[in-house]
Chain A
């Protein structure tokens, strides 16, 4: 569904939180706190997603089929759910990465030509 939106209309944008959450899940399923830690590592500490924002985003990604529940464990009497990225999620984050790369190239390529 996401691919249809992104490629036919070319209008869907991704928030920074969505991008980093999907990127964090590329290496395998993670639980909520695991995602927060991985996002922190991958962004060199620049992006810190508040917990409630993480779950709001996960709900939205699940609804759109970009993320799915992988498994559930019980730790200290509390449920710990692991989430994984779906094939549509991988396609979406790849498309966003390509878009960001092209946008970055607009500047970095020009600076290289100018020799600065």
Chain B
């Protein structure tokens, strides 16, 4: 029993960042084994939550200030979703599409000074049928702020983010919107809700607002598009208002958690 339990704990410890595991895993096992009862459900759930907290704290441990990290993440998420919108159907200009992919990769690697001029080309020379959007403007301005910022060491974002445009490419329709068929609608709402809840939880765990800022950039840029790009407000349905209201509420909750958790030790 104890051997199986220890194996189970060691498996769960793999959720922690590797440097944390190197420092703490044996000590955690040494404490977990005598402390565990017959059905250690609380210990297991606390380990999962602890792993998430350790990952959030690790992101905070860099020298990059919270606003720069949050701005970088927000601009990156906007770029990922912008790329996702271009993959289905593929644009008729392969050079432009290649530029959009390179731009996403450069931002993912934290190379904002290289990404800024490319973003001017990508969003300045749009393929036929495309119109300039607020999203492109926010990405350019965000990159400009990060390029001017004298600090170094922006985080390298996970390649897993590219799964979003990859899944988007599988959709049978031109885009995954609020009025798509249920499986694709659920996919989009699920991904966005997961990311926003994750942002709120990480904000609470790490006790700073970088994830809340990234969420705000993503949600409120979309909201600005909804407000200024969709014509008369009376055209919008209850579903639109519920979607934007719910998203904005999650962002506000994340900011409130950042403010509240700073005052709790």
Contact = CB atoms under 8 A, between A and B. Distances in A.
Interface of A: 2, 11-15, 18, 31-33, 36, 48, 50-56, 59-61, 64, 66, 75-76, 78-81, 92
A66 B31 contact: no
A80 B30 contact: yes
Contacts of A11: 263
Nearest to B24: A55
Contacts of A92: 265
Interface in B1-41: 24, 26-32, 34-35
Most A CB atoms within 10 A — which of B26, B54, B265? B265
Interface string B239-265: 000000000000000000000000111
B82 interface: no
A5 B94 CA distance: 57
Given A36-B35, A60-B265, A81 B27 contact: yes
Contacts of A53: 46, 49-50
A14 B42 contact: no
Contacts of B53: 56
A48 B37 CA distance: 12
Contacts of B46: 50-53
A52 B53 CA distance: 10
B264 A51 contact: no
Interface in B40-88: 42-43, 45-47, 49-51, 53-54, 57
Contact of B50 (A32, A48, A56, A78): A56
Interface of B: 24, 26-32, 34-35, 42-43, 45-47, 49-51, 53-54, 57, 263-265
Contacts of B24: 55
A50 B53 CA distance: 14
Contact of B57 (A12, A36, A59, A64): A59
Nearest to A92: B265
Given A59-B57, A78-B26, A51 B43 contact: yes
A18 B265 contact: yes
A86 to B, nearest CB: 13
Nearest to A35: B31
B34 A33 contact: yes
Contacts of A13: 263-265
B27 A15 contact: no
Given A32-B27, A33-B30, A14 B265 contact: yes
Given A15-B265, A92-B265, A51 B35 contact: yes
Contact of A75 (B30, B45, B54, B263): B30
A52 B265 contact: no
A53 B47 CA distance: 8
Nearest to A48: B42
A75 B50 CA distance: 24
Nearest to A34: B31
A14 B43 contact: no
